[in-house]
Structure 1
């Protein structure tokens, strides 16, 4: 190659290298800006992804029981970032057999933050996704404590939407249907245990119904479906309610009775169903078996709770239904 050719080739190589370097610099700068723009989105969704993972440990070296109890003692005061990160740990604690961790820390903490509006909307939405998914799948632990407390915590999420609506209509409808299906499908009637504490799936499901019944965004059809689901749990076969379940079941019914968009005919039909035994041939058989005695016991407790809730009330809707409730209760021995 001639010297001139070598010189020209050298110039071309220099220019090419310079262009390549400039191009790479621009590409790196553009990529860096894209990463910076994308990172905030990633950071905002990391904790949402965490909520879909398997349960994190409730207690570990970083958060022993003593520190969790101290957190509860401080009214769950934390920085915003720490608080939203702590949600996953408290969900795990909902499955702990230690009632202090489950009740005093996990549920109390989540309830406190939800009612104080201390969690981001993204965290609340993710909490709803996690809990509703677990409740829909009937996900539970071997001791049967997680599911009832997932339902109870879900009622607190429903309360957030009732006070400051953030669900899309389809999400709210899905939650209402899930609540009705959950109530109708209960098969665990355990209440309080001296060691493990509360399970109380019936009462906690009633609390979920209550928050939904109180929500004016639900249609009358939604409310009637929720009320109808209670029929399945008024008197489980052979089981005597002794932990206040009838009173809890009566609460959403009483508030549903205040709705002026539900016809009286619906309530009369429900009262007829509620006063009809399903585990014995008729009320004349009530004292001949434990099944009959349990059904009488549970239904009388439910009607008594309804009438007690109406007594002293000045609500026209409740007062108008009071004679029908009294007549229905008189059908019971």
Structure 2
């Protein structure tokens, strides 16, 4: 087994004593590890760096992407939640397969374990890691932006016992705001994805403010702020304004006002 701590210390230089295919396979296996040091400190940053730096061929990236898609059905939560991070890196590197999107959508809206951090497993971050991929796909020309907007609100409104933590709501808010910068969104598409939130929040459960309601309001407040201020897209040096800005802000305010009428 490669000394991955040494690889990290050496600036993630690719070891030359083993075939790259074997190294990638080992790193991919470590992304399933319950050991957070092996998974989060060593395997993930090494593989993400190699992908971003162009060390892997297109065929290797495509094969790795296919493997990550199978992880969405993995019984281990850490395997599921680290798969979208690698897929995001692969798509950002220019390799995309339309067949990767539906398995991601099914997993993201249905994932039940939304713990941010576990004392033994370390960071899990299903909502945030999924949001990172959602935002990347939302900016991809081969993906319908409204598809990702609907996925985001679906994730938020799915009943859960967890109030998300560690800025995960902000990361999903950013993903939604980034998707809303797409110039091919119609005014209808840019606003109607919020209709499910209006329906759900207008009919509150008997127990009052549930975790998913809290998650939804916090995330949409972050989205509102980004839309109002402008969105800094990956690699950009200036802020991007979204089309239909006023209409989207009005609709977001309508949603938030249902739960917090004093806020806007």
Name the TM-score class by shorter chain: 0.7 to 0.9
Aligned residue number for residue 193 of structure 1: 118
Give the Cα separation in 2 of the matches to 1:295 and 1:103.
27
Give the Cα separation in 1 of the matches to 2:197 and 2:122.
30
| Residue range with higher mean Cα deviation, 235-244 or 183-192 | 235-244
Give the Cα separation in 2 of the matches to 1:322 and 1:217.
26
Aligned residue number for residue 75 of structure 2: 140
Aligned residue number for residue 111 of structure 1: 48
Aligned residue number for residue 203 of structure 2: 282
Q: More helix per residue: 1 or 2?
A: 1
In the TM superposition, what are the counterparts of 1:87-166 in structure 2 within 5 Å? 87-135=24-72, 138-141=73-76, 144-161=77-94, 166=95
Aligned residue number for residue 44 of structure 1: none
Structure 2, gaps ≥5 residues long: 231-239
Give the Cα separation in 2 of the matches to 1:139 and 1:196.
15
Aligned residue number for residue 319 of structure 1: 245
The counterpart of 2:103, out of the listed 168, 171, 178, is: 178
Give the Cα separation in 2 of the matches to 1:92 and 1:111.
14
Cα distance, 1:94–1:272 mapped onto 2, change above 3 Å: same
**Shift in Å at residue 316 of structure 1?**
4.9
| Residue range with higher mean Cα deviation, 145-154 or 108-117 | 145-154
In the comparison of the two structures, how many residue pairs are matched? Answer: 248
The counterpart of 1:261, out of the listed 184, 204, 212, is: 184
In the TM superposition, what are the counterparts of 1:285-300 in structure 2 within 5 Å? 289=207, 292-300=209-217
Matched, 1:71 2:4: no
Detail structure 1 runs of 4+ shifted over 4 Å in the superposition: none
In the TM superposition, what are the counterparts of 1:228-239 in structure 2 within 5 Å? 228-235=150-157, 236-239=159-162
Aligned residue number for residue 329 of structure 1: 256
Please say if residues 176 and 226 of structure 1, whose CA atoms lie closer than 8 Å, have aligned partners that are also in contact: no
Higher relative contact order (CA 8 A, sep 6+): 2
Cα distance, 1:122–1:267 mapped onto 2, change above 3 Å: closer
Aligned residue number for residue 23 of structure 2: 86
| Partner-residue secondary structure (3-state), 2:200 | coil
The counterpart of 1:303, out of the listed 220, 234, 253, is: 220
Give the Cα separation in 2 of the matches to 1:155 and 1:101.
20
Give the Cα separation in 2 of the matches to 1:78 and 1:295.
43
**Shift in Å at residue 297 of structure 1?**
1.8
Give the Cα separation in 2 of the matches to 1:79 and 1:195.
30
Cα distance, 1:243–1:316 mapped onto 2, change above 3 Å: closer
Please say if residues 115 and 162 of structure 2, whose CA atoms lie closer than 8 Å, have aligned partners that are also in contact: no
Please say if residues 310 and 318 of structure 1, whose CA atoms lie closer than 8 Å, have aligned partners that are also in contact: no
Structure 1, gaps ≥5 residues long: 1-61
Give the Cα separation in 2 of the matches to 1:318 and 1:79.
50
TM-score by length of 2: 0.84
Say what the alpha-carbon RMSD is for the aligned residues. 2.3
**Shift in Å at residue 110 of structure 1?**
0.8
